[in-house]
């Protein structure tokens, strides 16, 4: 029984990888964008080869959703470094590729989820190791996250807020966070304050899709707006200083 399951499981994975590989061959722009985006990050060196597990997941996610999302590779990398678990990271990546893909993911067999998640996690570990980071530092960085300081349900809304400012801005923020060997608590609070500020605009504009997503995730839009306004007032000067630090003003 187990042998039969493993055979089917392995065949499914091979089929997914084949489809993803076919898609990449037909869309050279995808690989070019992934390479260009990753080479801009502090974590990566220009010209460094991408790791196949991470690349396969990005390609498969786009393939399932049938359209190309600019900067998906950046989003994937950030999510992998900020999710509470590998499974949650993969779920978030698929969620941002479209609700239909996310629903499909929820119906996947647990073993399939774990297989992909482990591949992704190992790829991220390898990226840190290539930068000469000791293993204990890698584990510590992966266990700490800006988003651990806020409700997990807010992660989607926060990324929507960052996305409004564009990929380059998100890259600069990731640079600041990841390049700091000892993250300053105030800087983390400022980053969260900025995310809340952007997210608050989205909620107040009445984006019904985002509001429904927050409710399904256990979030309370009214409470988020209230918190955002409070934090925004407390950190207005710090947020302006952050813009200067990131070279955005």
Q: Which residue has the tokens 């400022």?
A: 190
Three-state DSSP string of 115-162? HHHHHHHHHHHHHHHHCCCCHHHHHHHHHCCHHHHCCHHHHHHHHHHH
Residue 212: DSSP 8-state: H
Cα torsion 129, 134, 140, 144 to 10°: value is -50
Options 3.30.70.120, 3.30.428.10, 1.10.8.270, 3.40.50.720; which CATH number does 2-94 get? Answer: 1.10.8.270
User: For position 151, what pLDDT does the model report?
Assistant: 36
Mean predicted lDDT score pLDDT of the chain: 48
What pLDDT digit, counting tens, does each position of 200-249 carry?
A: 554 555 555 445 544 444 445 555 555 555 555 555 555 555 455 444 44
What pLDDT digit, counting tens, does each position of 160-188 carry?
A: 444 444 444 444 444 444 444 444 444 44
Q: Would you give the end-to-end CA distance of the chain in angstroms? A: 62
Q: Could you tell me the pTM of the whole model?
A: 0.27
What pLDDT digit, counting tens, does each position of 129-153 carry?
A: 554 545 555 445 444 443 333 333 3
The answer for residues whose C-beta is within 8 angstroms of residue 54's C-beta and 6 or more apart is 76, 77, 80, 119, 120, 123, 124
User: For position 128, what pLDDT does the model report?
Assistant: 46
Higher pLDDT, 149 or 24: 24
Long-range pairs for 27-32: beta carbons < 8 A, 24 or more residues apart: 27/68, 29/68, 30/59, 30/62, 30/68, 31/55
The answer for residues whose C-beta is within 8 angstroms of residue 75's C-beta and 6 or more apart is 93, 96, 159
Domain regions of the chain by residue span: 2-94, 101-247
Question: Of the candidates 126, 150, 39, 54, which has an alpha carbon nearest to the alpha carbon of residue 93?
Answer: 54
**Token pair recorded at residue 106:** 């929820």
Percent of the chain with pLDDT over 90: 0
């Amino acid at each position: 029984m187990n042998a039969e399951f493993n055979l089917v499981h392995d065949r499914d994975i091979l089929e997914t990888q084949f489809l993803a590989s076919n898609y990449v061959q037909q869309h050279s722009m995808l690989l070019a964008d992934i390479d260009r985006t990753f080479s801009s990050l502090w974590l990566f060196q220009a010209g460094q080869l991408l790791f196949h597990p991470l690349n396969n997941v990005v390609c498969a996610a786009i393939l399932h959703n049938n359209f190309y999302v600019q900067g998906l590779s950046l989003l994937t990398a950030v999510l992998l470094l900020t999710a509470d678990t590998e499974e949650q990271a993969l779920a978030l990546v698929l969620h941002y590729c479209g609700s239909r893909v996310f629903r499909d993911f929820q119906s996947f067999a647990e073993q399939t989820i774990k297989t992909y998640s482990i591949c992704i996690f190992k790829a991220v570990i390898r990226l840190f190791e290539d930068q000469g980071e000791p293993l204990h530092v890698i584990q510590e960085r992966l266990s700490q996250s800006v988003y651990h300081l806020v409700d997990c349900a807010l992660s989607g809304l926060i990324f929507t807020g960052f996305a409004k400012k564009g990929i380059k801005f998100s890259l600069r923020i990731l640079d600041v966070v990841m390049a700091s060997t000892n993250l300053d608590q105030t800087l983390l609070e400022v980053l969260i304050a900025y995310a809340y500020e952007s997210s608050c605009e989205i909620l107040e504009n009445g984006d019904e899709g985002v509001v429904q997503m927050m409710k399904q995730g256990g979030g309370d839009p009214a409470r988020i707006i209230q918190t955002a306004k409070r934090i925004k007032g407390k950190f207005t000067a710090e947020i302006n200083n952050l813009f200067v630090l990131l070279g955005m003003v």
